[in-house]
Structures are given as structure tokens and as C-alpha cells.
Amino acid sequence: MLEYLGTSGSMALIAHLQREKATRSAMDTSSIKRKQHILQQYPLKSRPCPGVYTLPLPHNGAADKDMPQSLHSAFTDLTMLARKYLATANTDDKSMSAARDRLLLCPYIKQIASNIFTFPVFTEEFSRQVMAEVDHLRDHLPESLKSRPNSMNNHGVLLDEVGFTEGFSDVLLDQYIRPMSALLYPENGGGTLDHHRCFTVQYAQDKDVSLATHFDNAEVTLNINLSLTDMQGQQNGDLLFHGKQGEPRPQPVRFQHRIGWGVLHLGKELHCATPLIAGERTNLIMWCRSAAWRLKNGCAMCGETAGLKFAHIQNSI
Ligand SMILES: [Fe+2]
């Protein structure tokens, strides 16, 4: 590749990679500092909708009486079933496979292809409320406290830095996503997911309009639509799933977004976002990771098992 780029192109690429390496090495420290600064300067209770930062624990009902129901009842029912089937399954493959099959009989989950599932997660009203809060943060945070959600998306908010971790994404992972992933992805670290990166991505004509084919830095990804301009299905911006590297699907699998609905897939599934033709859309993405999985099988990005650093890891259920 360096031969193809020539001397100046090679030097530019090497400089870019060195900058990226330095940025990533400093990321943990600078991200923690940014989060501390943001929470000091903009405490959650001073924000327009403080209730949006706390998701209910299973069986606890709404966390805030002034808040609309946040999690869709189909999602809480589905994850309750997952916990129940998981608790009664033995750890052998046959028993886990039977529990998985029982979960997939639930009408609230739809398998759209092997290892790709969709179901409602948030109510529409709550999706709008999260969106309004994210818009408010984006408009009010100084540029120095904003960071890109990931290396491919230019527009969005890194939710982990603005207060959505402890009561929101940790709860979502620990109480809801992991029990389902344990049944759906037992061979891919689904049962040991213990840390995550949570962010929004925004698409519009004057922002990013599409996303090239890639895999995620995650064992399991949950991608939830928060906002979508109603263009009677003409806006596009759909997801296309192509299969794993070396194991392409015969035909790409298309997924059309719907407010409050999530699509759950393996991080190593190659996927892209088709161009948005009109309107806007914003999605909330959880890259769910497993330290145990990575120490044994390697990082999703570099394949290394040694010298790995892990973001904040929450307690297990
Ligand atoms: Fe992705």
C-alpha cells in the first residue's frame, strides 16, 4: 500500500496513524477529565429533563413520575423472558440453544437474518425526550467539551461523557442487553458483556449522509433510532448487513429504521448506512464489549490479547 501511495502519501499516512495512536492513548484520561468537567459545569439536575438519565430497573416501574414511560413494555417483557430462560438453562450448548429458541418464540422479537434481531426498546415519547436532551447538550456545550462519537461519524454526542452512563447505559447493558445477548450470542461473549461505548450519530444533508461498510469495536451492538424525519419511507438511510469478513451473506440484509426500535447484531458483522436522501435521522448506539472475551479471543480491532485497556466496567447482575 505504501508503494502505491508514493513517498509523500506514505509520510502523510504514517503521520496520520501516529496522531491517531497518540489520540487513542490519551483518550481515557482526556475523556474522564471532560466528563468530570461537564458534570461540574452542567449538573444533571440543572438540565431540561433530568429524568431522562435514569432508566428503570426491572420491576421497579418508572424512575420518575414526571417522566413518560421510557422502556417499551415489549422490551421489558422480552428481557424478563430472557432472564427467566437464562436462569433455568444449564450452561451446556443444547440447553442454551433450547432457551434461545424459546426466546425467539416471543412475538416481540423478530429475527431478520442469522444473528440479527429487531425489537422495540424505547417508547416514541421517550425517544423524543432523549433526542431533545441530546440536542440541548449539543447546542449548549462549548466546542472544547465536545468529542466525536467515533472515528467514522462526525456528528453526534458521546453519551458516556455527558452523564448517560451510570443510570442509563450501564443499566441498559447490565439489566437488559446482557441477558438477551447471553442467549443470542453465547459463542461471541454475549453472556460476559461488561463495558461499553454509548453515543449518538446524526445524519442530515449538511452533516454525514451515509456510512461506509465497517465492523464495530464491539462484541455486540445495539442500534436504536431516536429520531427520523417522516418522509413516508423515502428518506432511506437504511442499514445494510453484509455478513462477517470472509463469510458474506448471499444478499445484503436491509433494515429500515423506526423510532424507538433497536437492531441487535454482532460487532463483527460488516454493515453500512445507505445515503439519506432527505430529512434527518439520529440513532443511539451501544457498542457492548466483554473484557473476558477480549482477553481470550483478542480485541475486535487489533486482535491483540495482551496490553488491552478497558473502559469503566460495571458490576455484574
Ligand atoms: Fe457500526
C-alpha cell at 38: 461537564
The Å distance, Cα 253 to ligand 1 centre, comes to 14
CA distance 208 to 234: 18
Report residues near ion ligand 1: CB below 5 Å.
Answer: 216
The pLDDT tens digits along the chain (317 residues) read: 556 666 767 777 776 566 555 545 545 678 888 899 999 999 999 999 999 999 999 875 544 566 669 999 999 999 999 999 999 988 788 999 999 999 999 999 999 999 999 999 999 999 999 999 999 999 999 888 888 888 888 888 999 999 999 999 999 999 999 999 999 999 999 999 999 999 999 998 888 888 999 999 999 999 999 999 876 666 678 999 999 988 999 999 999 999 999 999 999 999 999 999 888 999 999 999 999 999 888 777 777 776 666 666 554 33
The Å distance, Cα 288 to ligand 1 centre, comes to 12
pLDDT for the residue 306: 67
State how far Cα 309 lies from the chain centre. 19
Which H/E stretch holds residue 251? Answer: strand 247-255
pLDDT for the residue 237: 86
| 290 contact partners, CB below 8 Å, separation of at least 6 | 189, 190, 192, 193, 194, 195, 219
The Å distance, Cα 216 to ligand 1 centre, comes to 5
The Å distance, Cα 202 to ligand 1 centre, comes to 13
The Å distance, Cα 302 to ligand 1 centre, comes to 16
State how far Cα 290 lies from the chain centre. 14
CA distance 268 to 252: 15
The Å distance, Cα 219 to ligand 1 centre, comes to 11
According to CATH, the topology of domain 68-297 is Jelly Rolls (2.60.120)
pLDDT for the residue 11: 72
Q: How many CB atoms neighbour CB 247 within 10 A?
A: 10
The Å distance, Cα 151 to ligand 1 centre, comes to 11
The Å distance, Cα 215 to ligand 1 centre, comes to 6
pLDDT for the residue 284: 98
The Å distance, Cα 239 to ligand 1 centre, comes to 9
pLDDT for the residue 217: 92
The Å distance, Cα 221 to ligand 1 centre, comes to 8
pLDDT for the residue 5: 65
The Å distance, Cα 62 to ligand 1 centre, comes to 30
The Å distance, Cα 201 to ligand 1 centre, comes to 10
pLDDT for the residue 317: 33
The Å distance, Cα 271 to ligand 1 centre, comes to 6
Q: What is the pTM of this model?
A: 0.86
